[in-house]
Amino acid sequence: MGKQQQTLNEKIKDHGEMIAALFAGVILLIAWILSKNIGDTLPVIIMFLAAYVIGGFAKAKEGITETIENKTLNVELLMILAAIGSALIGYWTEGAVLIFIFALSGALETYAMNKSHKEISALMDLQPEEATLLLADGSTKKVPTTELKIGAKLLIKPGERLPVDGVILEGTSSIDEAAITGESIPVTKTVGDDVFASTVNMNGAFTIQMTKPNSETMVAKIIELVQSAQSEKSPSQQFIERFEGTYVKVVLSVVALMLFLPHFLFDWDWTTTFYRAMVLLVVASPCALVAAITPATLSAISNGARHGILFKGGLHIEHISSLRAIAFDKTGTLTQGKPVVTDFIVANENERLHLLAMIAGIESKSNHPLALSITNFAKEQGIYPLPKAQIEDIPGWGLKGTIDGITYKVGKPEFVGLEHVEHFQKNIASQLTNEGKTVIFMAKDSEIIALVAMKDTVREQSKLAIKELNKMGIHTIMLTGDNKNTAQVIAKEAGVEQAIAECLPETKVDHMKELLEKYKFVGMVGDGINDAPALATATTGIAMGEGTDVALETADVILMKNDLSKIAYAVKLSQKMQRIIKQNIIFSITIIMLLVVSNFLQIVNLPLGVIGHEGSTILVILNGLRMLRNKF
C-alpha cells in the first residue's frame, strides 16, 4: 500500500492547496463586494481575516518552519509581512489579494512538482504488490511481494505482470518487455532465461525463481535513479537558493529604511511612506526568480525519463548541453557486441551446404562467440539438426573435429596451414581482414576447403545517432581495444570522425584527459567494466542500459533503451531547458526592477504590484512546465 499512499498524499497536497487558494479567493471576492456597500465593518474584516488564514496558512507554516530549521529568511516571510503590513494600514483588500495570488502560485508550483513526478508514479503502478507463491506441497498462495525472499518459486499466469526479477524454471511464454526495454515486440522466454519485474506475461503459464530482492529489480533501480535525480539540485538552483537568503535580508533592510527615510527626504506623509514600504516588500520579493529553475529542471528530468534517458541529477542535465565532443566505446555500444557471419566462401561451390554443416557441427561443441555465430548462421540457412562431431579443442588456435571418420581443422591460419591460406581464393582472406573482419579457416588433409568471415556489425541506430551529433557540431570519437585496421573500418561505417585504437582501460582515461584538454566538455558512452574509468573521467558519463552494474553506477546519464539517438535528444532537451531558465531569470529580474522603480515613482499601487509580482511567478512556472512536452 506504500506507493498508493504516496501517490494519494501527493494528490491530496496538490488538490488541497488549490482548493484552499480558490476558497480564499471566493471569500475575498465576497468581502470586497460587501466592503463596497457597507465599508470595512467588523463582519467584512472577519471575512478578510478568514481569506488571510485559509489562503496563507500553508505558506506561512512553510516559511516559518524553514526559517527555524535552516536559520535563514525566505520569500514566504516577505509575503506574510507584506500582507500583515497592508492590513495594519487598512488595505485589507490588497493584503487579501496578495495572499490569494501567492497561495495560487504556490498551489501551481506544487502541481508542477507533482506533475514532474508522474513518471515515478507510473513506474510504481507497474509493480504488482502481490505474487503467487509456489509452496513445497505444490499448492499456491497469494503473498505480498515485500515478503518474498531470493530463491522463492512463483507461478506466473497469462496476462499477469511479473512481480520480481527471476529466472524461468519451467515453461515457455512470450513476454512484453516494453516497460523495460521500450521494444513493442514480445520476446519468447524459456527455461533458463532471465525475466524482469513489471513485464507482462502474454500467454503461457510458467514458473520462475526469484533472483533479486525487490529493492534491486531493474524497475526499482530506475525509480531510485529518477528520484535521486529529482532531489539533486543543479548548480544554478543551488546558487539561486543561496542568493535567496542574502536577497531577503537586503530587501528587509531596504524596507526598514523605507519605513521612515522617504518621510524626511521626500516629505511623504507617514501613511504613504508605510504604504510604499509594503509595496516594496511585495514587488522586491524574488518569488519568480526562485521559481525560474526548479520546475523547468524537474520537468526536463521527467521528460528524459519518459523517453528512456535517466539523468542522475540537475548537474548532469546542465552539463550535457555544453558537450563539444563525445567518445564512444565500440563493442556493445556502437556495435551489436556479437559477431555475425558476413562471408562463407568454399573451394567447391557444389559442396557449400555440406561444408557449412560440417563446420557448424564442429563449432556447435564450443561456446566461443565466434562458434555461436557460425552455428546460428548454419541454422538460418536451414541446416538443422547439425551433424554430430567428436572434437579436440586446441586453446588459442582452434578445433580439430571428426565427422563420419573424416577429420577437419577449424581455426587460425597458423593452425590449418599458413602456406595454404595465402593461396586460397587469390588472397581473399587478406581482403576480408582489411575490411575489419575476423576470418577462420576450415581444412581437410592440409587443404583449405572453406573460410568464414565474421564481423561485429554496427547498429543502425548508431549510424543515425552519429550523423545527428556530427550535424549538431559535436565531434565524435571511438575508443576501442581493437587493432587500428578494424577500428578504422568500424569508425568509417558508423560515421565517427576519429578512431583511437588499441586502448586499454587506463589508456582510455589518458585519451579522455587529452580530449578534455582540447574540447573542455567531453562525454563518454560505454557499457563495460573497462569503460568505467573513462566514464568517471568524462564531463558526462553515459551508460547503455544493458551495460554492467559498474558502468551504470559510474555514469551520469543512462540510456535505458540502448538507443544512441537519445543522446542527441538529451542534448536538445538540455539546451531547451537552459534557454527556458535564461528566459525565466531575465524576465523575473526585469519585472522586479520595473516594479521597484515604479514604486519609488509612486506609479504602481499595491494591487498592481501584487498582480505584477505574483503574475510573473505564475508565468515563470508555466514556462518551466513546457519542458514536459514530448516534442520541442
329 is catalytic: yes
Q: Which of 14, 329, 482, 531 is catalytic?
A: 329
How far from 617 is each of 28, 98, 201, 291, 434, CA to CA, in Å? 21, 13, 47, 7, 63
Backbone angles phi, psi at 318, to 5 degrees: -75, -45
The domains of the chain, with CATH numbers, are 2-118+227-300+575-628 (no CATH), 128-216 (2.70.150.10), 309-335+459-572 (3.40.50.1000), 337-457 (3.40.1110.10)
pLDDT tens, position by position, 420-470: 666 666 678 778 877 778 888 898 887 888 999 988 888 888 999 999 999
Amino acid 108: pLDDT: 67
Low-confidence ranges of the chain (pLDDT < 50): 1-13, 116, 119, 181-184, 229-230
Distances (CA, A) of 605 to 79, 100, 271, 602: 16, 17, 13, 7
Distances (CA, A) of 163 to 67, 156, 351, 465, 596: 44, 9, 52, 35, 58
pLDDT score recorded for residue 357: 92
Give residue-wise pLDDT tens across range 44-57: 888 888 888 888 78
Q: Position 564: which residue type?
A: L
Q: What is the pLDDT of residue 3?
A: 43
Which three three-digit cell numbers place residue 281?
Answer: 516588500
Interatomic CA distance for residues 414 and 43, integer angstroms: 103
Strand-pairing partners, residue 195, are 166
Return the C-alpha cell found at 283. 514587488
One-letter amino acid for residue 109 of the chain: E
Question: From CA 309, how far away is CA 345, in angstroms rounded?
Answer: 43
CB-based contacts of 132-141 (< 8 A; 24+ apart in sequence): 132/156, 132/157, 134/207
What pLDDT score was predicted for residue 326? 95
Kindly state the cell numbers that stand for 545: 542500459
Instruction: State the Cα–Cα distance between residues 451 and 295, nearest whole angstrom.
Output: 60
* Amino acid found at 30: I
Q: Helices marked H in 495-600 — which ranges?
A: 505-519, 532-537, 549-554, 565-600
Let me know: does 196 contact 157? Beta carbons within 8 Å. no
d(CA 72, CA 451): 76
Using CA atoms, how far residue 380 sits from 353, 385, 478, 481, in Å, is 12, 12, 32, 30
Helix (H) / strand (E) element for 325: namely strand 325-329
Cell of 614: 505574483
The CA R_g of the chain, rounded to the nearest whole Å, is 34
pLDDT score for 80: 78
Distance CA 562, CA 554 (A): 16
